[in-house]
Structure 1
């Protein structure tokens, strides 16, 4: 079962598929999880970190969270209902990953939207 991640407005924004890639609510591939916690773009650029149900940018700003997220979270908005599962797109070719990312810690909400974070249309 894929768990929804909610954005700063409490809207279901994306899911993790097969514990390795992010898919938007509209069924678009967004990015990759590498080494269980590092987040990379579809082209292999480092974006952030995922841990305990929280997605953070490289500066530690919160991008999204699950209902079961734990640890230090910024103020959590009321959450929308979860939509039906999106159509899961085919798995794109996995790129080489440029560098590595360390845990940025927590730093409130990111100034980036989900779209800006992944650098692609959601």
Structure 2
């Protein structure tokens, strides 16, 4: 099952696929969820936290959110419609996860782009 995540201005940005990885709208793998909430790059570097549908960077600032988000959002933008089902790429091998991420708390909207956050082309 896939769940669309929306960027700060309400555009559908990427998909949470199979409950444990992120894929772009263009069909590129972008990152992983480890231990249900910790977010890592494709190479296993800790970068953020996912809680109740809200994706935060390590400083607690919001990168994206799902329609079902129930964690704090400073404002909820008007959302675009979710695109049709994206082509989910094949599952890459999971990396070793380096370190861990703890709940960073709540903050405002992050100034990082999706590309900057995941460190990959989207």
TM-score w.r.t. structure 2 length? Answer: 0.97
CA contact (8 A) 1:23 1:30 kept: yes
Runs of 4+ aligned structure 1 residues displaced above 2 Å come to none
CA contact (8 A) 1:54 1:65 kept: yes
- Unmatched segments (≥5 aa) in structure 2: none
For residues 22 and 115 of structure 1, what CA distance do their matches in structure 2 show?
12
User: Is structure 2 residue 33 aligned with structure 1 residue 45?
Assistant: no
Query: 1:71: which partner in 2?
Result: 71
1:76-105 Cα deviation digits (max 9, x unpaired): 211001101111111111110010100001
Displacement of 1:74: 1.8
- Unmatched segments (≥5 aa) in structure 1: none
For residues 27 and 84 of structure 2, what CA distance do their matches in structure 1 show?
11
Query: 1:4: which partner in 2?
Result: 4
